Amino acid sequence: MVAARAPGEGRTDSTWPGLRYYRFSSPVRYDKTQTLVPGIVVVLQGRKRAVLGAATLVYDDMSCLVLSAETRCDGTVVEATPDQPYLAIHMDLPPDLLVKTFITLADAAPPANAPAAPNYVAPVDARVLDAFTRLLPALDHAIDRATIAPLVVEEIIVRLLRSEAASAIRDAAAIKRSAARIHQAMQLIQAHFRRPLGIAELASAVAMSPSHFAHTFREVAGLTPMHFLRITRLDAARALLLAGGRRPGEVAALTGFDSAAHFSREFKRRYGAPPAQYARQLASSQPQST
């Protein structure tokens, strides 16, 4: 399924924001350091090595890398051939959905043998893999993408938070104390991302001091408030671009960016290509929606 959706070398984005496929037919090192948000990488074939801060992790077929927070990553594909290329799925875990699920599962005890490291590798849970096999075909059709795909993404997050990944992704005590207020702040960001927003305003809205709010937001959500605001704007901009009919400069203004140049720079950093080029590439690489 992934091979069919990633016909070319390197990264291929799916129609779902934050979900992309990777194919490499020979060993390769990434020249640039990426900043990743909380997410999961499932390797289906081949082997890769990632340097995440001070830790070096190696993962191969039927294993997954769980990323608990925004982090710098240098990656090297160490095992891949034309006959058996490196194939992987990388999905960002939507921070707002993570926090919502944290609240629901706050009283559930994490597994006793859960790892303490913030980023770790483990065999992929069969239930998570099964969910991906249902998610990928759902993304090929507009109706399924709007109705089925969000439910499957939520299932993947619930499965992860009820597995050994739980303690890597969350600090249960911090969640119980603060998740509701952080989720409220996220909802405020999602409702008003088109206008300027600052830490002081967001903190005041949830009755926290700015410094405590900024620290707690990152502790609970795995990224800073301003990073969440930026990806909220970028995901909204991506949807507008893919809908067609608007130039990048217009999209930038509609989604809260102060200039088209700033928007283009941030868009390329998140999605790997400038806005107009990205929209053309994704339109040409995806199946026709029905």
269 has pLDDT over 50: yes
**Residue 113 is assigned to a structural domain of this protein:** no
Query: Which of residues 59, 92, 125 is at a domain's end?
Result: 92
Q: What is the CATH number of the domain that holds 83?
A: 2.60.120.10
Show the beta-strand stretches assigned E in the chain. 10-13, 19-24, 28-29, 34-36, 39-45, 47-52, 55-60, 63-67, 71-79, 86-92, 119-123
Give me 114's structure tokens: 């859960």
Pairwise CA distance, residues 21 & 203, whole Å: 37
Please give the pLDDT value at position 163.
76
Q: Are 29 and 76 in contact (CB under 8 A)?
A: yes
**Residue 237 is assigned to a structural domain of this protein:** yes
Q: Are 43 and 91 in contact (CB under 8 A)?
A: no
Neighbouring residues of 155: CB distance < 8 A, sequence distance ≥ 6: 131
Query: How confident is residue 286, by pLDDT bands cut at 50, 70 and 90?
Result: low
**Residue 272 is assigned to a structural domain of this protein:** yes
129-187 tens-digit pLDDT = 999 999 999 999 989 999 999 999 999 999 888 876 665 565 555 566 788 899 999 99
Domain of residue 255, residue span? 228-285
Please give the pLDDT value at position 173.
53
Q: Cα 216–17–94 angle (5° rounding)? A: 25
- For the chain, the farthest-separated pair of C-alpha atoms sits apart, in whole angstroms, at 57
Give me 26's structure tokens: 């020979």
Q: What does the chain come to in residues?
A: 290
